[in-house]
A and B are shown apart, each in its own frame.
Chain A
Amino acid sequence: GESVGLHLPTLSVQEGDNSIINCAYSNSASDYFIWYKQESGKGPQFIIDIRSNMDKRQGQRVTVLLNKTVKHLSLQIAATQPGDSAVYFCAEKISSYKLIFGSGTRLLVRP
């Protein structure tokens, strides 16, 4: 996977369709999770977060689902727009200050 320098997985969607980006996390003790969006040449930008006592959280056009049983997160983007094209990372908080990032998924939105 990407941790050894291979290409990022890419999700290509039609503009207006819904996107689902998946992420597996590693630490069953993690109690807080964040999705970040990173556009080319920029730093990660916070999208949405969720605590481990929840299994779903909704924002504007985005929803995060958490399945603690299988240690899986997903980010759903409704009505995907060209401006959503970016690399998306999930991150888990393993201490009060330290984040562990997943390997990322590139989202391409076709006009």
Chain B
Amino acid sequence: NAGVMQNPRHLVRRRGQEARLRCSPMKGHSHVYWYRQLPEEGLKFMVYLQKENIIDESGMPKERFSAEFPKEGPSILRIQQVVRGDSAAYFCASSPRPARGYGYTFGSGTRLTVV
């Protein structure tokens, strides 16, 4: 059973381009969580999605960022018109149900560099 798969592992974008980060949850998991990690800092919650629904996007910047988790396929975190401050590691985690009472498993992340 593969873990949470994220791709690409590394992504370089020029300022103004779009970045699309993909997350395939563990088999049977229908709940996905995205976190962002700036260098030398802890992870910060961005968004929680179930299949086809955004449950909590309180950690997402109001502009340029969006997330989806379609019925089929991976969850996508999309950043439009990237700026240097978007450079960070973006981690995805998944769970089979709302992760009450336990932690969840993270993927290896996508490291976005904006040049």
Contact = CB atoms under 8 A, between A and B. Distances in A.
Given A5-B39, A6-B40, A98 B102 contact: no
Interface in B88-113: 91, 95, 98-103, 105-109
A99 B98 CA distance: 13
Contacts, number: 70
A43 B4 CA distance: 10
A32 B101 CA distance: 7
| Interface bracket on B | 20 to 34
Interface stretch (B12-20, B42-50, B61-69, B76-84): B42-50
A32 B103 CA distance: 9
B85 to A, nearest CB: 11
A16 B1 CA distance: 34
Interface string A23-37: 000000000101010
Nearest to B45: A98
Interface of B: 4, 31, 33, 35, 38-45, 48, 55-56, 91, 95, 98-103, 105-109
Interface of A: 2-3, 5-8, 32, 34, 36, 41-46, 49, 51, 89, 91, 93, 96-104
